[in-house]
């Protein structure tokens, strides 16, 4: 079991990673919280697989734990579902000396964290991520949110968990497409922060001609995957500890997200998984960086080659450049009317680029939609 300690301005908390951590969850939780009543929030896919194990571990350690099961899927990140959880918590008589446990992927983590941040003006919560994306990204850093009909994650808070406990054994039941989507975030850390991590992924791929990255990693599951997850957590941890509230540095985590969110929005959130859209967005950002002469074509090709092994679906038929361009303008990462893109300038280094010439952005969109980038 690996322990990484994160120190943010609003408090420090440990992240535990390893196989079989669910069995130890109760003991780990007891090191951070008194043996209080807990509401475990999970979804309809994860609860049948890991709910009983989670409750048993918590109860063994003396917690009074109850399970609330959501349907699952992005639509759960809504005010309506949050209201249902507030009601369950109130009806169960949960007072301020209780806590929430989020057992699931990023949807459960974001929603349960949001409910914890707001229920009775805030109660503690624990993140127990079960997707690769949640382990390496969404469970770290305390961004919690629900969606608004006008956009994703628009209503939320920065609210750090008391503890994160990621059991890597849970990844074995994750659907392959979800696993691939999480890998996109691993590639992201290599491009924005740590060249060594990127080169590692490249060299793993070079030893297997044309195989998808997921297959390469799963074949070597015992060896590389835990190391990569731990590096990702340490990198995200370092970034969010230096800039908890996204004033500056934390923005680099949005690499691939300006284009990626536009693709998700232009397809009504029904075609891409979030990580897939981010993978496309990273290829597009690398291309934009080349057009702006910020990145060498050779480095952009290296980024494209790794992203090309993530099995991202092709651009949907009939999606027009105009529709994606219009969706770009609803992006949260605008300053005034200017769009902000996080662009690579080298492997391991990115910059924020404000308001690049729009014809170049349109050229990138056209190249992506023609299938020329991935």
Q: Which residues are catalytic?
A: 121, 143, 185, 236, 246, 250, 254, 257, 261, 274
Q: How far apart are CA 97 and CA 37, in angstroms?
A: 8
Query: In terms of DSSP H, where are the helices of 252-351?
Result: 257-266, 274-291, 297-307, 321-328
- The verdict on 51 binding ligand NAD (CB under 6 A) reads no
Minimum CB distance to ligand NAD smaller for 65 or for 107: 107
Question: Are β-strands 163-167 and 334-335 bridged in parallel, bridged antiparallel, or unpaired?
Answer: unpaired
- The verdict on 153 binding ligand NAD (CB under 6 A) reads yes
Q: How far apart are CA 298 and CA 220, in angstroms?
A: 28
- The verdict on 258 binding ligand NAD (CB under 6 A) reads no
Taking CA atoms, 265 is separated from 258, 274, 316, 325, 368, in Å, by 11, 11, 13, 11, 16
Q: Which of 22, 25, 29, 46 binds ligand NAD (CB under 6 A)?
A: 46
Min CB(76)–ligand NAD separation in Å: 8
Q: How far apart are CA 40 and CA 81, in angstroms?
A: 15
Min CB(175)–ligand NAD separation in Å: 6
Q: How far apart are CA 34 and CA 57, in angstroms?
A: 15
- The verdict on 45 binding ligand NAD (CB under 6 A) reads yes
Q: How far apart are CA 30 and CA 219, in angstroms?
A: 36
Token output for 354: 């404000």
x/- site string to ligand NAD, residues 305 to 344, per CB under 6 A?
Answer: ----------------------------------------
x/- site string to ligand NAD, residues 91 to 130, per CB under 6 A?
Answer: -------------xxxxx-x-------------------x
- Residues in 157-216 at the binding interface with ligand NAD, rule: CB under 6 A: 170, 173-174, 178, 181
Instruction: Kindly give, in sequence order, each residue whose CB lies less than 8 Å from that of residue 176, ignoring residues fewer than 6 positions away.
Output: 214
Token output for 328: 């770009």
- The verdict on 17 binding ligand NAD (CB under 6 A) reads no
Min CB(117)–ligand NAD separation in Å: 12
Using CB under 6 A as the criterion, which residues of the chain lie in contact with ligand NAD when the complex forms?
A: 43, 45-46, 49, 72-74, 77, 104-108, 110, 130-131, 133-134, 137-138, 141, 143, 152-153, 170, 173-174, 178, 181, 274
């Amino acid at each position: 079991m690996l322990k990484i300690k994160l120190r943010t301005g609003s408090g420090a908390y440990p992240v535990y990673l390893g196989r079989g951590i669910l069995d130890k969850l109760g003991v780990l939780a007891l090191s951070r919280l008194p043996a209080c009543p807990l509401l475990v929030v999970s979804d309809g896919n994860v609860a049948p697989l890991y709910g009983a194990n989670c409750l048993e571990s918590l109860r063994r350690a003396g917690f009074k734990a109850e399970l609330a099961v959501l349907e699952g899927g992005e639509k759960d990140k809504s005010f309506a579902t949050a209201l249902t959880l507030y009601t369950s918590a109130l009806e169960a008589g949960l007072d301020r000396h209780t806590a929430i446990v989020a057992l699931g992927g990023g949807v459960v983590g974001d929603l349960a964290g949001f409910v914890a941040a707001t229920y009775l003006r805030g109660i503690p919560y624990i993140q127990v991520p079960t997707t690769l994306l949640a382990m390496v990204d969404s469970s770290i850093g305390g961004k919690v949110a629900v969606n608004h009909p006008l956009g994703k994650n628009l209503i939320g808070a920065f609210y750090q968990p008391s503890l994160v406990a990621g059991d890597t054994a849970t990844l074995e039941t994750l659907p392959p497409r979800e696993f691939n989507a999480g890998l996109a975030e691993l590639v992201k850390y290599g491009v924005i922060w740590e060249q060594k991590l990127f080169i590692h992924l490249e060299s793993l791929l070079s030893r297997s001609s044309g195989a998808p990255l997921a297959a390469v990693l799963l074949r070597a599951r015992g060896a590389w995957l835990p190391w990569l997850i731990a590096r990702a957590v340490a990198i995200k941890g370092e970034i969010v500890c230096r800039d908890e509230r996204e004033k500056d540095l934390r923005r680099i985590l949005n690499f691939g997200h300006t284009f990626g969110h536009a693709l998700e929005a232009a397809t009504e959130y029904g075609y891409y998984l979030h990580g897939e859209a981010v993978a496309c967005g990273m290829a597009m950002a690398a291309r934009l960086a080349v057009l702006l002469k910020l990145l060498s074509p050779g480095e952009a090709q290296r980024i494209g080659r790794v992203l090309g092994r993530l099995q991202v679906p092709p651009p949907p038929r009939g999606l027009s450049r105009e529709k994606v361009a219009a969706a770009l303008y609803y992006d949260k990462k605008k300053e005034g009317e200017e769009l902000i893109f996080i662009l690579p300038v080298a492997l391991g280094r990115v910059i924020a680029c404000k308001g690049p010439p729009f014809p170049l952005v349109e050229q990138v969109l056209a190249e992506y939609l023609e299938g020329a980038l991935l």
